[in-house]
Chain A
């Protein structure tokens, strides 16, 4: 579904991603770990098409198609979804109106009829119940004044509504209490399917206890320095990233 080949990218002229290779097939869940500042959010932003980054080398293929020149909304239409590490607050635009606009934009793209306000509300209520989100959050401005946990639930709600093909979750677990973590993980797991792929960025094993990955990758200074199965995450949890740097097999990037 997603194939990244030798990806180099700069942000504001500074090289951040320095040759990333990553292949994610439909049905797979990949976890991406790595120290602060290693480039995890940069990678997710580059995949989602955020302006301000420049790809200096390499390719990004999504479902066989080079997406480097696609606008963010076109990538969303293709089925790429990024749950933001820091969801943006947008005063004056209600969450309800935003989600309806987003869903209908995608439906139009898929050749489906737009949902009217009633149908949308019904669908939305069902999804909100799945992430335990209070209904009044729909009538408030997007993320404005939302607690950290509410913002993250809102991201998952959007994911449930938009039903993307590739879900990129950038530290969706950070700032969540234990119950919220479970709720969010259940939301994510409910989307797992043979047609869908996930890239889960996290610092903690505890999320991966709920969302069990097929593969784990470690990103350090813009490169994937280690890939493995779910055990790799557990090992990292015990030994820390320095273990990779020091360890004899640490230098061996895939």
Chain B
């Protein structure tokens, strides 16, 4: 808790004073970027529910907790623990971050040491800051996103993934962000940052996995910025499965150039308070994006998904499918905003958000927001809120499948469209299992 009389920004101001002193060796442009960002966060403050974008979710639980900057030490995490935490489904490169800091000793960059498109931000800051200049903070609109501003103010470490023109990375790059904290520790915050640059014609799949160890209250404030040049293709998977003491705010900011392809999977399986902002700017003609989401709420969790697809130019296509499963007294939100600019003729924009309520106490708010300023467009949206189909339930039970197992089958069935489209089949299967584990209260104490 923050001391009485102090505003909710107070702990962040104090941390910022200390933090800026520690990164005084950074180039002037980076220090300036942080100062500006802090100024923007200061000005905006914690967003209130009066703002359209925060209409359904109050940030008070975060503002009032008085989170302070996490200690940077990687703690006592072992490689074994890390392997248990992540999906051991690929032979892929694993890059592990502990409390926001890259932990090379826990990372297994596959068999190929050279030529990997990965570097830690901390290392780039000291060894090749020129690479970051003009890239960091290019895509995220800090004015619109106070939490992205806060992340930028404390920009320290994270991942940079950069593909040269024409490079095709077959193996997924798997980033694991572990937050470690025991019950008696002060509530703390980390600001992980990921920067992705896919040059013309390149291709990469990135899995960003957020897990937690220990039950201390914590706040993960992540920002990912992605630039996808002409004809490049980036497939992004965000997995959130922190414990119920976790607050997680994630901003994914994407800029797509001509004929580029982007797919996102935002899979939320845990976390007491989760807010995801996806912002995609379709800046080049012929660009296409597919946004898919699967979110599970159990206990009294809040999961808020906010997407914005900005069709700035003609001939672009966006498709969105978000599926919500809400149990217990959890609350889900889907707000899908689509802007079609006056020039953006021949736009295709489709959006769908089916939701499954598994209990009477669960709740979901779903709201499409189409702002169409061009006339030659094909846009559609649809949202549904339903329960398990009783006829289907009876059908399964009449074949000898017990009621709980039948419910589980139907719940998994509801998620299948999303899990089947994940970039690796094994990953989809793991997510299906985790969905049920989480629903039944296993893993990090989440209860349905």
Contacts and interface: CB of A to CB of B under 8 A. Distances in A.
Interface of A: 48-52, 71-73, 75-77, 81-82, 84, 87-93, 97-98, 101-102, 105-106, 109, 141-142, 158, 162
Given A92-B417, A93-B409, A93-B416, A76 B403 contact: no
Contact of A88 (B391, B403, B414, B415): B391
Given A76-B397, A88-B395, A89-B392, 8 more contacts: A72-B397, A73-B402, A75-B398, A93-B412, A102-B396, A102-B401, A105-B401, A162-B400
A92 B428 CA distance: 13
B392 A102 contact: no
Interface string B388-426: 011110111111111101100110111111000000000
Given A109-B400, A158-B399, A162-B400, A72 B394 contact: yes
Contact of A50 (B394, B401, B406): B394
Contacts of A81: 398-399
A193 B401 CA distance: 25
B417 A82 contact: no
Nearest to A102: B399
Contact of B413 (A73, A91, A102): A91
Given A51-B394, A84-B395, A73 B401 contact: yes
A95 to B, nearest CB: 12
Contacts, number: 84
A90 B397 contact: no
Nearest to A99: B399
Contacts of B406: 73
Interface of B: 389-392, 394-403, 405-406, 409-410, 412-417
A106 B400 contact: yes
A49 B401 contact: no
Contact of B400 (A90, A91, A92, A105): A105
A72 B392 contact: no
Contacts of B415: 92
A76 B405 CA distance: 15
Given A90-B410, A91-B413, A93-B413, A51 B399 contact: no
Contacts of A142: 395
Contact of B395 (A77, A90, A162): A90
A50 B415 CA distance: 26
Contacts of B409: 93, 97-98, 101
A49 B412 contact: no
Q: Name the residue among B398, B399, B400 with the largest chain A CB count within 10 angstroms.
A: B400
A141 B413 contact: yes
B400 A98 contact: no
A198 to B, nearest CB: 16
23 contacts: A48-B394, A48-B398, A50-B394, A51-B390, A51-B394, A52-B390, A72-B397, A73-B397, A73-B400, A87-B395, A88-B391, A88-B395, A90-B395, A90-B410, A92-B414, A92-B417, A98-B401, A101-B401, A101-B409, A102-B396, A142-B395, A158-B399, A162-B400
B91 to A, nearest CB: 24
Nearest to A158: B399
A93 B405 CA distance: 12
A49 B398 CA distance: 8
A67 B115 CA distance: 68
A105 B417 CA distance: 26
A172 to B, nearest CB: 15
Contacts of B402: 73, 105
A101 B405 contact: yes
Nearest to B418: A92
A49 B396 CA distance: 12
Given A71-B403, A101-B405, A90 B392 contact: yes
A101 to B, nearest CB: 6
